[in-house]
Every structure is written in C-alpha cells, then in structure tokens.
Amino acid sequence: MSKQAEYPDINIPLLRQQQQRFQALTPGHRACLGCGEALAARLVTEAAGPDVIIANATGCLEIFTTPYPESAWRVPWMHSLFENAGAIASGMEAALKAQGKLTKVLAFGGDGSTFDIGFQALSGMFERGHNVLYVCFDNEAYMNTGVQRSSSTPHAAMTTTSPPGKIRMGKRHLKKDILSIIAAHHIPYAASASVAYPSDIRKKVRRAMSIEGSTFLLVHSPCPLGWGHEGDMTIDVARLAVQTGMFPIIELERGELTGTMPIRHSRPVKDYLKQQKRFRHLFSGKQQAEEELEHLQALANYNMERYGLKGNDPDALDSEGADTVGRGKIRWA
C-alpha cells in the first residue's frame, strides 16, 4: 500500500508550511518591543541553521539575549569584548579547522562595534581571509549605553551626544560608508540588507554560508527606542529607508558591485525622516532645518545615482515590498 493511500488525510504541503523553522534565538529574551535587531538576528540565525558557533560583541543583542544566568541562544554562543569579535571569531575558526570540523563561525556586532571600536579586529580577520560570516546589526547608534552617536549615525540625526541646538542640527558628520571600506578588503562577498525584506536576508545569509572565506552582511535594524518611532512601525520605517535611497541594498563580490535591490517607486526622504523623533528638529520650518532636509535628499539622490537604484524592470522590487531581487543579470525570487 502506498503512503498516500495509508494516510489519506495527510496534506504534505500544508504540513511543510506549518513546520517550524530552526530557531537559534528563542522568544523570551528582553529586547524592547519592535526591536529591529532582535528580528534581524532571528532571521539571520534561522537561515544559517543549527551547525554554527557565534561570537557576539558587546551591545544590545548580547545584553538582551543573555541576562545571567539565562540565555535565549540554542547554539554555541560566546560573548566577546566590544572591540574584538573579529579576533575571537578568527580563533574559533582556526580551532575548528584544526579539528577538521565544518561548523560555520558567525560573528555579530552592532554598528558601534563594527564601524568604530571593533573595526581593527574585523579588518584583520578579513585580511587573513578567515572562513567567517560577520553580521553587523546596524541601528545607527550606541543604543545599549543610551543612544550615543556612532560613525554609522546618519547626518543630522539627534542622539544624546549629537543634540540639535542653536548651532548644529543634530549629528554634524556623514554616516560612514562602511561597505566601501569592507569592499577594499576584496573579500568574496559583502552585502547590505534590511529587516523589511526577510527573504532577501535569508538568501544573502545562505549565499554567504556557502562561501569558504570571509563574508560580511550589514543589516539595517531600526531601534524604536533610539530612533523614536512606535514598535509596530519598525518594518515600515526600515522599508522607507530603502525606498528613499537612504539605505541602499547592494551586493559586492571581491569588491565589485554585482547586485542591487532596485526601487521602482522611490519616495522623498522626508517620508522616512518624519516617522522618527530623532529627525523631529528638521521639521521646525527654520531655514537651517530646510537646508538640512535638502542636504539629506541630495545624499539619497547620490546613492540612487551611484548604485543605479531606480529600476523600471517589471521584476524590480516594488515599494509595496515584493521580495524579488535583481542579482547581476539574473533575477530570482
């Protein structure tokens, strides 16, 4: 008797749909409601699967997942210092290699750790070509210690160390172009992604996991507390960052641009900024504020031009969030 005849009521496709994905990061951790970083970490680890070991730099992700003596992790996980996740991950990888094990090493850091304080160790790891996927959860400030500006904080954003006042409109400097710096290491694969596009994150993680060598993923991860939006707006805010050109979604192979997420219906930068209290001072109507708004729009236009983000192809990712991505000349959903 065939299996189908023996169990006539079993709907295999439905069962598959309902089957839980492997979750390395379990619910019950202590992130704020709507935390983009928590969602991003869940998506990344789901896609990476169970055979991983994680080095996690100090920051919100480390703190809210491991309040002693608890842990929300179901995979081997190690807390590194703020400044040395790259070095710890390098050591893990070398040790696993010596033991002949295929377990993949992941390294996690926030933007403060990645762009600023842990950059030296990260650069060394890339230069030596360790077989590690490094993921930066970019919430654009030092959130864990109370929202201080980092070199990833966008121009004109308010943080506790870049307050708007009579002289300045929030942060004076530009967001560091980390992907160009990473590209200069000529690692096999580096990409940006956003929590607004989960299947794109999954594809990029799987891609990076399949590569023997150093890979890098920058995931835009809104922080309701530091950005000043409601927790249920996290995905909308993240999507607007992409649609306005403020956060370009790109892929680089050996330093060359090979993929972009095209934007069919671009939105004005104001639509993104006005959702967040960190940019509230830009809507005062004052001349200086108007000039900053123009400046931010010019920065977004520059991103659009630089990466050729405006896409008219029928398959281009549309602003409603369809999850189709152009990779080089190949299109895949």
Residues that bind ligand TPP (CB under 6 A): 37, 58-61, 82-83, 109-113, 117, 139, 142-145, 150
Instruction: State which of positions 30-59 bind ligand SF4 (CB under 6 A).
Output: 31-32, 35, 37
Beta carbon nearer to ligand SF4, 145 or 319:
145
- Give helix 85-98 / helix 119-128 axis angle, nearest 10°: 30
- 82 binds, options Mg ion, ligand SF4, ligand TPP, none, Cβ within 5 to 8 A by partner type: ligand TPP
317/315 Cα distance (integer angstroms): 6
- SS3 at position 38: helix
Of 215, 260, 224, the residue nearest 242 (C-alpha):
260
Beta carbon nearer to Mg ion, 144 or 266:
144
* CA distance to 70, 192, 211, 321, per residue, from 129 (Å): 34, 20, 11, 35
Give the residue, chosen from 56, 90, 139, 234, that forms a contact with Mg ion under the rule CB under 5 A: 139
DSSP 271: H
139 scored as a contact of ligand SF4 (CB under 6 A): yes
- In single-letter form, the type of residue at position 107 comes to A
Site string for ligand SF4, 1-30 (x = CB under 6 A): ------------------------------
- 58 binds, options Mg ion, ligand SF4, ligand TPP, none, Cβ within 5 to 8 A by partner type: ligand TPP
CB of 63 to ligand TPP, least distance (A): 7
Beta carbon nearer to Mg ion, 149 or 267:
149
Beta carbon nearer to ligand SF4, 111 or 253:
111
- SS3 at position 252: strand
Instruction: State which of positions 205-224 bind ligand SF4 (CB under 6 A).
Output: 223-224
88/228 Cα distance (integer angstroms): 34
Residues 6+ positions from 235 with CB-CB distance below 8 Å: 195, 196
- Structure tokens of 331? 């299109």
CB of 283 to ligand TPP, least distance (A): 25
Alpha helices in 60-188 (DSSP H): 60-65, 85-98, 111, 119-128, 178-183
Beta carbon nearer to Mg ion, 112 or 259:
112
- SS3 at position 207: helix
**CA quadruple 269, 274, 276, 282: dihedral positive or negative?**
positive
CB of 112 to Mg ion, least distance (A): 5
Give the residue, chosen from 121, 201, 225, 273, that forms a contact with ligand SF4 under the rule CB under 6 A: 225
CB of 250 to ligand TPP, least distance (A): 21
Q: Which helix (H) or strand (E) holds 12?
A: helix 12-18
Q: Which residues bind Mg ion (CB under 5 A)?
A: 110-112, 139, 143
